[in-house]
Amino acid sequence: MPDDASLPSRPAPIGDPALRIKGLDHIVLRVADIDRAIAFYGDVLGCPIERRLPEIGLVQLRAGAAMIDLVPRSEDDDEGRNMDHFAVQIERMDVAALSAHLRHHGIDPGEVRRRYGAEGYGSSIYISDPDGNTVELKGPPEAAA
């Protein structure tokens, strides 16, 4: 497929306004060697470490406006899959409207929880795509105090 298409402007959003994607927030990768992964993403790609949660082995690296999160691979992880989940930023977190939209499409909206993402803490939910990939819908960041 040739890569010669040029878009004069961004396409208009489609679908239900309850779920409007702003962009990629973060991706969580399961890695066999955390130090090797930090060296690659840090030294090779230039992503600085932003945050560590040693109790779960999580290392979060800044990748422009998004983040790359690294977690140690466990023996229980499926060998063919090294992505834990990815998160997309959504314009707003209207839980009732978002839940209704997802249910309309046969998707369990899951539990709303406060989680850290590329823009800071905010509400999010996890859903699964048709292939079993976990997708986090990350709402706007909490207002600064």
Please state the rounded mean pLDDT for residues 95-117. 93
- Percent of the chain, pLDDT > 70? 87
Here the tokens at position 70 are 């690294």
Kindly tell me if the per-residue pLDDT of 106 is higher than 80: yes
Domains annotated for the chain, with CATH where assigned, are 21-138 (3.10.180.10)
Kindly tell me if the per-residue pLDDT of 122 is higher than 90: yes
pLDDT digits (tens, 9 = 90+) for 40-78: 999 989 999 999 999 999 999 999 999 999 999 877 766
Q: How far apart are CA 61 and CA 51, in angstroms?
A: 7
Burial of 73 (0-12, 13-18, 19+ CB in 10 A): buried
Write down the pLDDT at residue 5. Answer: 61
CB-CB contact of 124 with 87 (8 Å): yes
pTM value is 0.81
Please state the rounded mean pLDDT for residues 109-136. 92
